[in-house]
């Protein structure tokens, strides 16, 4: 049997990047031989094993054939006679389809190294069309490597367009889509992910409300801004969704099955954007600020409020950003109120609620009067 290092590790090493995890392919072995050598089998469907010491993944060389749509349509064939080349041809991009043998020689039947030098993301073969997830992966690698000059080559873009037109993207399950989006949001140029998806029309299926130029460019600008601040996943998704109307935002984050914290921050952000705009243009009162703090439930969700305060400036025009500063100042003034102290002073029930409100308002008004205008 022969063992090869494959995929991302080979690619990243050639690019001079840190190699995070290493994947291996084993040619000429049976599952029994692997188990006899102390490997542990993981996953019932695929012949993939964990090394007894390094815990790295060793997969038996395999081929895949597709019968229907989506994930259930794959049948996997693995046997000692499957060659390395047969295994590599089912991979997504040429730069991900290189291997290194035990002597350290590069095995590169699909010219991944050439594409690496020319900065091209290119599909390995027509088998690319068998898995629509590859569209998302390609967009994600574009987002990761765009700063190094990579782009999706025209032939691959054409293939992806054809897949979208054939309805392939309709079969992706939300969990897989969200997983890719979540990763893409943290790549080096997250906006590129959405640009690629828009170019191949996958975005018309995955988030059609973002497609028109005006929300699209606003979404990408907000995303770029929160990315510069190293925002969390929640903050990044909220920035991306921030140009949308509330209903569309809620429906989309739900359909994507984004985690609840992501859905909630996105919802709060789109509710607060018009509120910030009217704060900026109307006579500002302590009452209106306190109402917003109540709406954000600052009292029980201080961390979510901080996240909101980080996203809003990214999602608002320059002129409306002062309202966020005021909101933040009101929040820090009002959070000093201690319900416990008021209780010790004998307040309870409805009177306690009113006393808390009054004290918060007093402190906000005091802070506002000290605000240089």
Contact call for residues 249 and 324 (beta carbons, < 8 A): no
Q: Which stretch binds ligand ATP (CB under 6 A): 31-39, 131-139, 287-295, 354-362?
A: 131-139
> Which CA distances in Å does 350 have to 123, 313, 345, 353, 357?
66, 36, 14, 5, 11
Q: Does 183 bind Mg ion (CB under 5 A)?
A: no
Among residue numbers 109 through 148, which ones bind Mg ion (CB under 5 A)? none
96 binds, among ligand ATP, Mg ion, none (CB under 5 to 8 A by kind): ligand ATP
Contact present, 146 and 188 (Cβ < 8 Å):
yes
- What does DSSP assign to residue 97? S
Any known ligand binding at 21?
A: yes
CB of 93 to Mg ion, least distance (A): 13
140 labelled as ligand-binding? yes
Planar angle of CA 118, 121, 123, nearest 5 degrees: 125
With b meaning 16 or more CB within 10 Å and e meaning fewer, what string describes 331-362? bebbeebeeeebeeeebeeeeeeebbeebbbe
Q: Is 109 in the site for ligand ATP (CB under 6 A)?
A: no
CB 68 to ligand ATP: min, Å: 16
Could you give the CA distance from residue 192 to residue 37 in angstroms, rounded to a whole number? Answer: 44
CB of 173 to ligand ATP, least distance (A): 13
Structure tokens at 273: 């954007």
- Ligand-binding site membership of 252 (annotated): no
Nearest to 21 by CA among 60, 46, 55: 55
Is 188 known to sit in a ligand binding site? no
Which of 131, 168, 180, 189 lies at the binding interface for ligand ATP (CB under 6 A)?
Answer: 131
Total site size for ligand ATP, rule CB under 6 A:
11
Q: Is 91 marked within a binding site? A: yes
Question: Comparing C-alpha atoms, which of 182, 75, 67 is closest to residue 136?
Answer: 182
Note the maximum CA span of the chain: 82
Q: 285: part of which helix (H) or strand (E)?
A: none
Q: Which does 131 bind (CB under 5 to 8 A by kind): ligand ATP, Mg ion, none?
A: ligand ATP
Site string for ligand ATP, 22-41 (x = CB under 6 A): -x------------------
Q: Are 127 and 91 in contact (CB under 8 A)?
A: no
Q: What is the DSSP letter of 52?
A: T
* 8 binding ligand ATP? (CB under 6 A): yes
What does the per-residue mask of binding to Mg ion show for 1-40, with x meaning CB under 5 A? -------x--------------------------------
Q: Note whether 279 and 327 are within 8 A (CB).
A: yes
- Window of 30-38, 88-96, 152-160, 272-280 that interacts with ligand ATP by CB under 6 A: 88-96
Can you tell me which of 47, 49, 84, 92 binds ligand ATP, judged by CB under 6 A?
Answer: 92
The sign one gets for the Cα dihedral 142, 143, 145, 149 is positive
Q: Provide the minimum distance between the beta carbon of 64 and ligand ATP in the complex, in angstroms, as a whole number.
A: 9
Distance of CA 199 to the CA centre of its chain: 19
Q: Is 45 annotated as a binding residue?
A: no
Whole-number minimum distance, CB 124 to ligand ATP, in Å? 8
Task: CB nearer to Mg ion: give 10 or 298.
Answer: 10
State the nearest-atom distance from the C-beta of 97 to ligand ATP, in Å. 6
Q: Are strands 120-121 and 106-107 parallel, antiparallel or unpaired?
A: unpaired
Residues 6+ apart with CB under 8 A from 356: 337, 339, 342
Query: What, of Mg ion, ligand ATP, none, does residue 174 touch, CB below 5 to 8 Å by kind?
Result: none
Contact between 7 and ligand ATP per CB under 6 A: yes
Three-state DSSP state, 44:
coil
Sites of contact with ligand ATP (CB under 6 A):
7-8, 23, 91-92, 96-97, 131, 133-134, 137
Annotated binding site for Mg(2+): 21, 23
Binding residues for ATP, as ranges, are 8, 11, 91, 137, 140
The binding site for Mg ion (CB under 5 A) comprises 8
Residues comprising the binding site? 8, 11, 21, 23, 91, 137, 140
């Amino acid at each position: 049997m022969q063992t090869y290092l494959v995929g991302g590790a080979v690619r990243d090493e050639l690019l001079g990047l840190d190699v995070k995890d290493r994947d291996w392919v084993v040619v000429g072995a049976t599952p029994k031989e692997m188990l006899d050598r102390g490997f542990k089998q993981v996953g019932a469907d695929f012949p993939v094993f964990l090394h007894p010491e390094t815990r790295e993944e060793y997969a038996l060389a395999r081929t895949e054939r597709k019968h229907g749509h989506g994930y259930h349509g794959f049948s996997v064939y693995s046997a000692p006679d499957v060659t390395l080349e047969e295994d590599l041809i089912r991979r997504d991009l040429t730069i991900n389809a290189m291997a290194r043998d035990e002597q350290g020689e590069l095995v590169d039947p699909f010219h991944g190294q050439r594409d690496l030098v020319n900065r091209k993301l290119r599909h390995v073969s027509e088998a690319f069309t068998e898995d629509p997830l590859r569209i998302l992966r390609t967009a994600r690698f574009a987002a990761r490597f765009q700063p190094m000059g990579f782009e999706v080559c025209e032939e691959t873009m054409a293939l992806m367009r054809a897949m979208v037109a054939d309805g392939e993207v309709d079969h992706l399950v939300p969990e897989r889509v969200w997983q890719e989006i979540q990763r893409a949001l943290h790549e080096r140029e997250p906006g590129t992910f959405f640009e690629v998806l828009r170019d191949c029309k996958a975005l018309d299926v995955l988030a059609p409300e973002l497609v028109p130029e005006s929300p699209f460019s606003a979404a990408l600008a907000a995303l770029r801004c929160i990315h510069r601040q190293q925002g969390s996943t929640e903050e990044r998704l909220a920035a991306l969704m921030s140009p949308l109307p509330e209903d569309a935002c809620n429906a989309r984050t739900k359909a994507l099955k984004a985690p609840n914290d992501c859905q909630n921050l996105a919802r709060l952000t789109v509710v607060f954007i018009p509120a910030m705009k009217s704060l900026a243009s109307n006579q500002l009162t302590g009452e209106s600020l306190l109402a917003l703090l109540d709406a954000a439930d600052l009292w029980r969700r201080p961390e979510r409020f901080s996240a909101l305060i980080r996203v809003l400036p990214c999602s608002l025009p320059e002129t409306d950003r002062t309202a966020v500063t005021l909101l933040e100042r009101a929040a820090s003034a009002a959070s000093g109120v201690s319900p416990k102290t008021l209780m010790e002073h004998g307040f309870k029930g409805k009177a306690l609620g009113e006393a808390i409100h009054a004290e918060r308002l007093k402190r906000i008004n005091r802070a506002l009067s000290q605000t240089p205008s």
